[in-house]
Every structure is written in structure tokens, then in C-alpha cells.
Structure 1
Amino acid sequence: MKSRRNFLQKLTLSAVSLPLIPRFETNSLFATGKDVKRDTVLRVAIMGLGSYGTRVAEAMQDSKKAKLVGVISGTPSKITTWQSKYNIPAKNCYNYENFDAIKDNPDIDAVYIITPNSLHHPQTLRVAAAGKHVICEKPMALNAREGREMVAACKKAGVKLLVGYRMHFEANTLEVIQMREAGAFGDIKFFQGLSGFKIGDPTQWRLNKELAGGGAMMDIGIYSVNGARYMVGKEPIWVTAQETKTDPVKFKEGVDETILFQFGFPEGIVASCLSTYSMGNLDRFFLNGTQGFAEMQPSTGYGPIKGKTHKGPLDNPHITHQTVQMDRMAEIILEGKSAKVPVDGEEGLKDLIIIDTIYKAVASGKKEPINLG
């Protein structure tokens, strides 16, 4: 673990500096941009061949508009395995030191960065400098300062920056959003988001502040942060937060175990959320309005997402989230479409600003204003 940590830290430092519908269709929530050939496919290289990178790769096998064509990894054996399994040519395989050479590879359109949080910022800058579109896992960076630099770098390079918000394309989630917009819940009053699980291996990078940037908040807590925003349909204007730590050996200084946080929104709407690495049986969203409610559990897992509203069950068919995500992101990048709930760098930056403010509220013990401007 120590050698891996040193290697990753070295990489970081060396980087280039409406009416309700009976059946929900995610395609209906996209606005068509310029006319393009419908057989256009987004050619993607995955950076980071761990467990989630594998999940994305498998899901892409069923994608109609995105194709896995390249890999970037610091582990040669993984590259060899993926080459064979996914029929990836050697010329599309890179390591963390030489992947800047993708600039000269016309076979790759975009790079999906699925590495530890601390690497997102430097790797995004390098991919953008190489002229390739960036898809980055969440959280987009360690803090808002890094996020702003990533957004600016991609704009300067003329490439797209998207964030892996797979729930923004999930059918039951989008149905609740459409119901809220259509007024089915009346005036929204309250949201509850519970995000957490019992984390295992104490030596993993998610419990290393230098690699993760924090603890549960930077991993699972972001789902309640982001979920509060898209479920309520407004941006929070203040936050209070309290941290609880029961195991200071496993959760060292700067690595949060459990944070309870409360948002205030315009019009008196409030939210109560939990981010934790020490409790299971959570993953629950609850939205309450003057005329109805929506309840989802599980609300952000890999699926199927289950839930109900005051009108009945949410029963849209489950499709692998990452398959839908990659198809829709291909449409955004290649066809100029836009998502109902944004997945761009600006959206990722808002979550980072909010998380920064949550940590500030934990430290101050005060109600802290959230400035997304």
C-alpha cells in the first residue's frame, strides 16, 4: 500500500501543471442539437482499471453510442488482461507517465478518469491539454479551487468536461424530478438524504486523506449533496454540519467517518442529510411536499432503484446505469444534446463548493452561507 501511495502522489505532483407519462423514457429529456450522423460512436479510453473501471467497461459492451477503445493504467498486467478481454490494440494502451501521447492518437475521442480523487485534477489538465474530452468520476476534484481550474482548462482546450453522475440518467429518479416539476407534490418543503455503508479494508485509498481528500463525504456523501439539489430543484443557500467519529484509528485526522448536515433552500425549504462510513441499511431519499411525497430506497445504488410516490410505485425497468450514462454522454459530446439534470464541469464544481462549505461548517460549528456564484 505504501509503494502505491507514493506512486500515486508522485503522479499528482508530476502532472502538467409537464403532463405525467405512464412510462418514463430518458431520451425524452434530451434536447436535440445539430444534426449529425446517428451512427457516430464516442471512442473512449478508461483511465484507472480498478473495480469501478471494470464495471464501466462491462456496461459499455451494451452501449450503442460509446465504445471502449483504449486503456490507461499504472499496472502492466491489467493492461494485458484488458487488451485480450476487450480487443484493445496495443497502440491505444498507455501508462500514467506517457498518456499525454494520446494527443496524436485519432482513435480516442475521450478519456474516462476513474482514479483516486487526488488524481482527477492533474489528470484532467493533461487530458484536456492533449485535446481529448474528459469524463471524470465524482467528486470531480478535492476542492472547489481544483474544480475551477479543471473547468477553465477544458474550456481553454475546447473540450467537454463531464462528471460521472449516473443517477442523472436513471429512469425512476428522472420520473420523480418530472413529477416535481409538474407540481405533483405541491410546494416542496423537506428532503432527507441518507448515504452510507460500513467501509472495510482500513488500508484502502478511500481512507487516505492525501488520496481521497476526506472520508465518507468525498465518496458516498456526495450522493446526498447532489441528490438534495436535483430532488428539491433549487440550490441550497446555507448549511450547518456536525461530525461524529467513533473510530479515530481507522478514521484518522482529516478522514470523516460520519457527518450530519442540514441545508436551507429558498422559500424555507430544508433538508437533513447523513454521510457515513460506519452504518448500513441507508441509501434512502425522501421528498415531501404539500400535496404528496416520493420515497426511494435504494436511491443511488447500482440498481434496481426502488421507490414509490403518493401516486403509487416507481416501476420503470432497470437498465445498467453506466450503459445509459455512456450512451447519453456520447450524445452530449457528439450530438450537442443536453441532459435534463446537468452532468458538466459546472455541475461538479457546485458540489465541490457545497462540500467545502460543509467542512467549513463542521469546523466552525456555525450556519455557513453557500455561495455558488
Structure 2
Amino acid sequence: MRTSARTPRWGLIGASDIAATRMVPAMRRLGHGVTAVCGSSAPRTTAWAAAHGVPHATTSVEDLLARDDIDAVYISTTNELHLPRTLAAAAAGKHMLCEKPLALSLADAWSMVDACKAAGVVLGVNHHLPGAATHRRIRELVAAGAVGRPLAARVFHAVALPERLRGWRLRDPGAGAGVVLDITCHDASVTNALFGTPVEATALTVRQGPWEAAAEDAAMSVVRYGDGVLAQTHDAFTVAHAPTGLEVHGTDGSISAVDVMTQDPVGTVHLRDAAGSREIDVPGRRDLYEVVLEAFGHAVRGTGEPAVTGPQGVHALAVALAVQEAARTGRTTPVVLSPAAAR
């Protein structure tokens, strides 16, 4: 694996909303350099770069990847472009942090992992939730036996899609639209980290929002894990006034965490058992994207690994794809994880 002692200098592939609102500010707070941005429209990309203080703007991925003042790229294009952009960045020897979902198929996702491994570059996936202090604390409690043997989980992650994002996420299935690839894969990054190997999924999806949608905008699923744990999810773009949260139920207790399926370092964690109910202290709250970027920096320096690795990102995608297939067919669907089975 190629390593560098230097703080990463970033090239942005995608002049995106999340790059503008979350990632570039977090990069700068950590002292990371932001060298250039690549977008599909020259006028829009130039304006985006000027608005966010990025020195160089281009519409050529090749030109961005050829720069010797870029060590790593952050890919936040529409989802169908994650594969070709990752393969190009790996061939150019750039480390990369890719938005979720990693790809639109398991075969493509594993090919991205393989390409980065062969090139000796770091691949991280921008699932922000597992690095949140609340989720780290919940994993610690479960691992320490606070709920006994885990039995079930409930994820409530139904939110209102902001008006500025009501574009391809609703209308372009070819780009990876729909709530399952947008939100359910985030849920899976949390439940996979808690319970291990996902086995099968069942699901229903609908289109219920006040818009014309070509993809599902609300979904409920149940995923079975290897030890018989059942994880239920409710994901939506259509719910404006509900909290998000995570519950974990076991033989000896239950954890209830509210406002934790968010992009911000907020939320509360309660434990209820035979001794009663109490709030659990959550130390070390930080910006979730700073956590992702800091871990990525350690991986580039050879002193750690990404907060969510390439294979972990593939496994989150595998759950989302199984949920989509289960909803499409009306049948319980296996979660396919292995590279050989995906191809």
C-alpha cells in the first residue's frame, strides 16, 4: 500500500451539495488542502469553485487526476459514475474516498475494491454514521453485554428530502435513485457493524411523496443476521416531523437512541434493563465528516484504516440491493456478500 506522511491534498470529483455543505468545510477544519474540483458543466463548476474557494475548476477527470498537487480524490458524483471514476483514480495512483452507495451492483463494487488494492491506494466509503460517538457508544454497550444476547433492532430513518435535492434522487433510476440506495445502505452500515453478517432481507417499497418519482421514496425492510437477529428499518424521503433513531433489544435490556441517524453529532442514548432506565453518557462527540476524514488521513499515512473500508461499503450495498430485490419480487432475498457470488 502506498502511504504518505503528508496531510491529504484533495481533488473533488463532483461539484455536489454534500461536498459544499459538509466535506469541504470539514477538510478545511482539519487542515487538509482542497486543490481542484471537476464537474460536468464548465460554467457551473467554475461558479462552484469560486463560491467555495477552490483554486482550480475543470470538466476533465483526466486533467484533475494528472495533477501532482492532489494526493486523494473525493468522489461525490451521481451513483452510476462511482465505478468509472474510482477505476480512473486508482489507475492514476490516487487514494480515494467515495460516496455511498459504492456502486450500483456488487460486481462493480468488488471490482472497485480490487482495483484499489492492486494499485496500492486507500479506498474509503463515506458512510458517516458508524463513526458517530453515539453509534460507537452503542456498539460498546452491545459488545459489553449491556443488553444480553441481541435479538432485534429497529431503525427509524424516515425524513423529508430537502427541496434542493429533489432531482436525480427521485427521477433517475439509472443514476441510482431511490430511498433504498440513499438511506437504507446507511442503515446497513450501522446494523452490519453491530450484528455482523447479514443473511437475507424482505421488504416493501412505495412512492408516496408529493412529486413525480421514478424510484421508491419510502421503504420498510427486515434483515436477518447470522445469529438470528432481526433488524427492521423504515426509510423515507416523505416524513417531515419525526425523529430518527435506533433501538437494540436483547435478552437482558434495550437501548433506545433518538436523533442519531443524522449528519450532525447529536442525539441521546438510553439503556433500560432490570435496574431501570437511564441515559448513557456519550463522550467524544465530533463532526461526523471530520471523523471520516481523519480516519482516512491515518489510512493514507499507514497508521490506520478508513472509518468504513471498501469491503464494508460493499456489504452495506449488498443489504440495500437485497432490500430492493425483495421489494421488487415480493420474496425473501439472500444478501450476497462474496466477490465470487456477486460476479
Q: What TM-score comes out, normalization by structure 1 length?
A: 0.80
SS of residue in 2 equivalent to 1:237 = strand
- Greater displacement, 163-172 / 79-88: 79-88
Q: Any residues of structure 2 matched to 1:34-49 within 5 Å, and which?
A: 40-49=6-15
Tell me which of 157, 169, 177 is aligned to 1:214. 177
1-side partners of 2:204 and 2:45: how far apart?
A: 43
Secondary structure at 1:61 match in 2: helix
Q: Deviations over 1:109-147 (max 9, x none)?
A: 110011111111111111112111111001111121221
Deviation at residue 344 of structure 1 after TM alignment: 1.5
User: What corresponds to 1:350 in structure 2?
Assistant: 315
Partner of 1:30: none
| Mapped partners of 1:352, 1:86: distance in 2 | 31
Instruction: Report SS of the residue matched to 1:243.
Output: strand
Q: SS in structure 2 opposite 1:183?
A: coil
Residue of structure 1 in register with 2:112 after alignment = 150
Structure 1: unaligned runs, 5 residues or longer: 1-32
Partner of residue 291, structure 1: 252
Alpha-carbon distance in structure 2 between the residues aligned to 1:259 and 1:36: 42
**Counterpart amino acid of residue 167 in structure 1:** L
CA distance in 1 between partners of 2:191 and 2:250 (Å): 14
> SS in structure 1 opposite 2:227?
helix
Which of 94, 99, 111 is residue 58 of structure 2 equivalent to? Answer: 94
Sequence identity percentage: 23
Aligned to 2:279: 312
Is 2:46 the counterpart of 1:70? Answer: no
Q: CA deviation at 1:190?
A: 0.8
1:238 maps to which residue? 200
SS of structure 2 residue aligned to 1:372: coil
CA drift of 1:36 comes to: 8.0
**Letter of the structure 1 residue corresponding to residue 246 of structure 2:** F
The answer for the alignment partner of 2:75 in structure 1 is: 113
Amino acid at match of 1:124: T
| Number of equivalent positions | 329
Matched position secondary structure for 2:148? coil
Alpha-carbon distance in 2 for matches of 1:256, 1:195: 15
- What is the correspondence of 1:317-328 to structure 2 with a 5 Å cutoff? 317-328=284-295
| 1:146-177 Cα deviation digits (max 9, x unpaired) | 21221222223222211002222222211111
> What do residues 21-45 of structure 1 show as CA deviations (whole Å, max 9, x unaligned)?
xxxxxxxxxxxx99985xx311111
| Deviation at residue 282 of structure 1 after TM alignment | 4.0
Determine the C-alpha separation between the residues in 1 that align with 2:3 and 2:161.
46
Letter paired with 2:231: A
Partner of 1:204: 167
Following superposition of structure 1 onto structure 2, how do residues 216-295 of structure 1 map, counting pairs within 5 Å?
216-231=179-194, 233-246=195-208, 250-252=212-214, 255-280=215-240, 281-295=242-256
The one-character-per-residue Cα deviations of 1:312-351 (angstroms, maximum 9, x if unpaired) are 2343353222122211110012223135xx5121111112
Q: Distance in 1 between matches of 2:293 and 2:145?
A: 30
- What is the CA–CA distance in structure 1 between the aligned matches of 2:111 and 2:254, rounded to whole Å? 39
Shift of 1:226: 2.0
Letter in 1 for 2:58: Y
Matched with 1:18 is none
Corresponding position of 1:23? none
Q: Give 1:200 shift.
A: 5.1
Residue 324 of structure 2 aligns to which amino acid in structure 1?
A: Y
C-alpha RMSD of matched pairs (Å): 2.6
Change (3 A) 1:200 1:179: closer
Q: Determine if the alignment matches structure 1 residue 365 to structure 2 residue 310.
A: no
188 and 335 in structure 1: CA distance in 2 versus 1, 3 angstrom threshold: same
CA-CA distance at 1:369 after TM superposition: 2.1
Deviations 1:68-127 (A, max 9, x none): 22222234445545655666444xx432xx221344422111100111111111111111
Matched, 1:180 2:180: no
- Aligned partner of 2:17 in structure 1 is 51
1:303 maps to amino acid: D
Distance (whole Å) between structure 2 residues aligned to residue 144 and residue 34 of structure 1: 26
Change over 3 Å in CA distance of 1:179–1:82 after alignment to 2: same
